[in-house]
Amino acid sequence: MDDHTNARQLNRRTFLKATGAVAGAAALGFPALLRAQAKTIKIGAIHPVTGPLAEVGQLMRLGAQIAVDEINAAGGIKSMGGAKLELLAGDTETKAEVARTVAERVINDGAVMITGTFHSGHTMAVVPVAQQRQVPFIVDISAADVITASVAQSVKEGKQKTQYVYRVFPTTATFGRLAVKYMTEIFKETKTSPKRVVVMFTNDAFGKPQSESFVKAVAAAKPGFEIVEVIPYPEDAKDLSTEVSRVKALRPDILSPITRPATAILLLQELTKQRVDLMGVISPGAPGLYEPRQLEILKEHIEYVMDITVWQNVKSPRTQKVAEEHLKRSGKPLDANAAYTYDTIQVMADVLERAKSTDPDVLVDAIKKTNFTGGIQVLAGPIRFNETGDNENAATAAIQILKNKALVVWPKAAAQAQVVFPRPKV
């Protein structure tokens, strides 16, 4: 007779003794293995894991998973009995219509909050789903002002009762204002006086408002340089030779591109090919100018390029710990995309901890009272949401590609290296 047979022949007295011990432990409040497992709370993370933005989306999903694993390892949501978070991941396939469908799916599967989506157009497709289904949507990355402003205005006018959409990421207005500020400070620091700036932008739901915000900020600040031309190009452009020829003919000191990853490669290679003479390439905030794949492909073509964009606080021990885990799991360095999603999941956990509930309106009340100090980004203060639903302390940093690495060069308090401007002549 084997051990399994013996186990099945547990007598009544032993059974009653065992079950009595469990009942007694539960009555005494013992938290150990004898208690029932804590429930699971599902949250959705919707990103472009396939398609043209796949590299970005995959790293954002990884950032979300690292955050979930960290929260669960630390005891889950303690105010809710140690409830564990479960990540419901969705792939937008880099398509707005798919983003909406995926949002519906993860909500149907039980997500009590969602985040995403990187692309402003895709995020806009998810906003009405969140509002209609009354599921809080905390946007990790998407800059277009209209994402939160339209919902806030609708609530203000009484067309909708509650705002379920909030955002950790900076708005396009914030990007524009800080881009002008940092550029002015960098020019002063390097004793240079660029005068002519040309803006190029991907003509989509992110690039167009981002370029408009930068143009507006330059006009308001009167910083000593002017924008002499604004050149749009298709989001799915396969060739930028015509646009780069226009840039060359305008003879700017600075080119300020707002790109997607694929078009960043086209643009920088074409600038080299046409030998466009510039003091520097300085983006007022764009993806595509620091991702591992871009650095690997572009090499010397991307050297000295600056991007005034979101970035992680590399001097923080917590950031360094997350970066180590990210490198271990992916073989790639932590970037702002994964870091912003990581922070957003942490904010969700903080909201759940304070709400002690998954009721959507209780969650919204907790979101409005957020004062989260555990972020790993370069921020101007704790993550707090203003009346529009935006993080009032969202901020950017100027990064520069130096020796094929993306390093913070401004503001000085966060800098890893000294800014190099103008870029050295080849």
pLDDT in tens, 253-294: 999 999 988 899 999 999 999 999 999 999 999 888 888 888
- In this prediction, residue 206 carries a pLDDT of 86
Task: Compute the average pLDDT of residues 100-108.
Answer: 98
Which regions of the chain carry the CATH code 3.40.50.2300? 40-170+314-394, 173-309+398-414
Give dist(CA 257, CA 141) in Å, integer.
19
pLDDT confidence of 16, banded at 50, 70, 90?
very low
Nearest 10 degrees: Cα torsion 103, 106, 110, 114: -60
User: Is residue 139 pLDDT above 50, yes or no?
Assistant: yes
- In this prediction, residue 391 carries a pLDDT of 97
Q: Tokens standing for 329?
A: 């799991």
Q: Which of 389, 393, 350 is nearest to 137 (CA)?
A: 389
Task: Compute the average pLDDT of residues 399-407.
Answer: 95
- In this prediction, residue 82 carries a pLDDT of 97
User: Is residue 312 pLDDT above 50, yes or no?
Assistant: yes
In sequence order, which residues have a C-beta less than 8 Å from that of residue 80 and are 6 or more positions away? 38, 39, 41, 352, 353, 356, 357
Task: Compute the average pLDDT of residues 214-229.
Answer: 97
- In this prediction, residue 292 carries a pLDDT of 82
- In this prediction, residue 5 carries a pLDDT of 36
User: Is residue 210 pLDDT above 60, yes or no?
Assistant: yes
- In this prediction, residue 10 carries a pLDDT of 36
pLDDT confidence of 250, banded at 50, 70, 90?
very high
Give dist(CA 7, CA 15) in Å, integer.
11
In sequence order, which residues have a C-beta less than 8 Å from that of residue 26 and are 6 or more positions away? 34, 35
| Sheet (strand 137-139) strand order | 84-91, 40-47, 113-116, 137-139, 165-167
Kindly tell me the burial class for residue 202, based on how many C-beta atoms sit within 10 Å of its own C-beta (0-12, 13-18, 19 or more).
buried
User: Is residue 194 pLDDT above 80, yes or no?
Assistant: yes
CA within 13 Å, CB half, 288: 24
Q: What is the CATH number of domain 40-170+314-394?
A: 3.40.50.2300
* Residue 116 bridge partners (DSSP): 46
- In this prediction, residue 166 carries a pLDDT of 98
Which element (helix H / strand E) includes 119?
Answer: none
Give dist(CA 341, CA 322) in Å, integer.
12
CA within 13 Å, CB half, 70: 19
pLDDT confidence of 104, banded at 50, 70, 90?
very high
Q: What is the CATH number of domain 173-309+398-414?
A: 3.40.50.2300
Task: Compute the average pLDDT of residues 249-254.
Answer: 98
CA within 13 Å, CB half, 8: 5
CB-based contact 205:120 (threshold 8 Å):
yes
Output DSSP code: residue 51: S
Give dist(CA 302, CA 398) in Å, integer.
15
Which element (helix H / strand E) includes 159?
Answer: none
Q: Average per-residue pLDDT in the chain?
A: 90
Please tell me the least confidently modeled range out of 43-47, 134-138, 300-304, 378-382: 378-382
